[in-house]
Amino acid sequence: MSQQHPSDALSSTIVDELASLYPTAATYLGIDGHDHRMPDLSPDGAQTALAAVRSWRRLVSELPPTRDRWARLAVLVAESTLEEEIEHIEHGDHLVDLNSMASTMQDLREVFDHMGRASSDQWDNIIARLKAMDPTLDGYRRTLNEGRAQGMVVARRQAEATAEQAGIHASEDDSAFVALLREFEDSDHSPALKSAMGQAVTAARGAFGRFSEYLREDYLPAARPEDGVGAEAHTRYARRFLGLEIDPLETSAWGWEEATTLRSAIETVADEIKPGATIAEAH
């Protein structure tokens, strides 16, 4: 039997340590042991992560060569993953990690959808994260403030949308945290756990309320009026989300062509349903 390439052990170590650095990401990936923790979203937390990722990248580069295709693939995945994270922090993308669909703002709420609820221990994890929401959002706020200090801010529409989302999370009627509390109350738990859960939900809602206020009163006045981020950043973000290089102008042109084709097909169907009608009229 051939000797196992050291990339296997190193990859396993890197995954474990990345899970420790990014506990909410660990939950999304199904890695146990971190569901009670929240990430350090402060500027210091980003620098700690950068130092660690650089160290792991150096260790990957020192691995011996191999002809085994799976070991080579493991090295390639490790290299691309670590380089992507280094690039993300070095370019200051974490300083403008705020948008209406896929940013830390959404992760901090949506991670609870991926957490277990079958046992009291699992509810303890949820409570721990809810209670940690205020310091977590405080670190996030300090990172966004560092971006503002460097003239790196998001578009006004993104700030407005995320402020609205944070306000919903803080509300009494529409908050997902209130819905989570109702789900908890439908189960049988001890009075102590019920009290802790109620307090934790109140704390999380309050934390999001303060974050919404911060976005509206402090961040929004400094936000950019224009939506675009520029070709360089757009290409970098696309590589992070898609895992491949794209030409942003070519991709945009293709997207509009596809949208136009789809619109034409919808108009054809609308006319078949109700001759001469608009899409809205045929709906």
Q: What is the mean pLDDT of each run of 10 residues along the chain (283 residues)?
A: 80 94 96 96 97 96 93 93 93 95 95 95 97 98 97 96 97 94 90 94 98 97 89 82 83 93 94 88 82
Which residue, 96, 95, 109, is CA-closest to 47? 95
Q: What is the pLDDT of residue 10?
A: 94
Question: 10-19: long-range contacts at Cβ-Cβ below 8 A with a sequence spacing of 24 or more?
Answer: 10/56, 10/59, 10/60, 10/63, 10/78, 11/74, 11/77, 11/78, 14/56, 14/60, 14/78, 14/82, 17/52, 17/56
Residue 166 exposed, middle or buried by CB count within 10 Å (0-12, 13-18, 19+): buried
Residues 181, 200 contacting (CB under 8 angstroms): no
Residue 248, Cβ neighbours under 10 Å: how many? 15
What is the Cα–Cα distance from 168 to 78, expressed in whole angstroms? 38
Neighbours of 21 (CB within 10 A): 17
What phi and psi values does residue 73 have, to the nearest 5 degrees? -65, -40
Q: What is the pTM of this model?
A: 0.86
Q: Spell out where the chain has E strands.
A: none
Q: CA triplet 201, 207, 208: central angle to 5 degrees?
A: 95
* Per-residue model confidence (pLDDT) at position 43: 97
pLDDT of residue 187: 85
Reported as type and span, the H/E element at residue 116 is none
